[in-house]
Homo-oligomer: A and B are copies of this chain.
């Protein structure tokens, strides 16, 4: 291009576009990650699938990355945050349910006796969930979640739950999207518990959140069409349900999948079974100082020895929170 010649529109565009990758690649896209195998594997994978002409190149439309939520994108101790939401809802609704004082599992729960509450197992838990998550319209439930997530504080850190998203994973989500990926959540959590805040916190819009669901019914209330949440399970998006949910919701196999527990095993297997370059990653909670350390023995976010063995056998990547992450939460050091 000669100097001092007026540029055509196409030349403007070409020059402008040529600048963009330089600008974004000049700085480290994962500043909260220590150098090491995990960061390396991620950057090498993204490099090869986005490099035109590479044998591993993947067109933008097929760059699907799926993320578990609890324990992968945000913390999950001492129990899943949705369970803490549920307990808060029981307390809030108790005045309207005087019968709960003498009715299990509500009676134990209201006395703060978590051991007796959870002694009823899945059936008791389902009863609590249905009593707090169903009966209202989808709009009403969304408001309830928005209010809670904006105000409730974590019992240990005293922070908003959304402040307990992992800083390195926020960087990873942004890096993947800047590299043409569409990022999805695929979580065992309730889809309508996540959607009100995932866009703001993770940059993941509601239509890219896959999760467990209860049934809803379209009806008219006061002449206005509404969707009412029914006390009936629709789909559990966990374990073998994750590939099912991915297929029914996304309809395309991920090329990268991120989890942290036995609940994510089948999602990673399904991801790996596709042809071409694939990235399977498990977050390992091994940092008792800055977060929590748990694994095979934990009821929440179980990372069993069998999963560990499969991970090694299949060549999946592990993230050691202790060694691979410079910071865990965005509020650290502030």
Contact = CB atoms under 8 A, between A and B. Distances in A.
Given A225-B273, A240-B218, A207 B12 contact: no
B251 A195 contact: yes
B13 A251 contact: no
Interface residues of A, number: 46
A27 interface: no
Interface stretch (A50-58, A83-91, A126-134, A241-249): A241-249
Interface string A167-207: 00000000000000010000000011001000100000111
A249 B6 contact: no
Contacts of A195: 251
Interface in A301-327: none
A224 B7 contact: no
Contacts of A273: 224-226
Contacts of A249: 207, 249
A205 B269 contact: no
Given A16-B12, A195-B251, A244 B216 contact: yes
A199 B240 CA distance: 28
Interface string A210-236: 000100111000001111000000100
B251 A206 contact: yes
A177 to B, nearest CB: 14
B247 A138 contact: yes
Contacts of A3: 6
Nearest to A213: B248
Nearest 4 Cβ contacts at the A-B interface: A206-B251, A218-B240, A12-B16, A195-B251
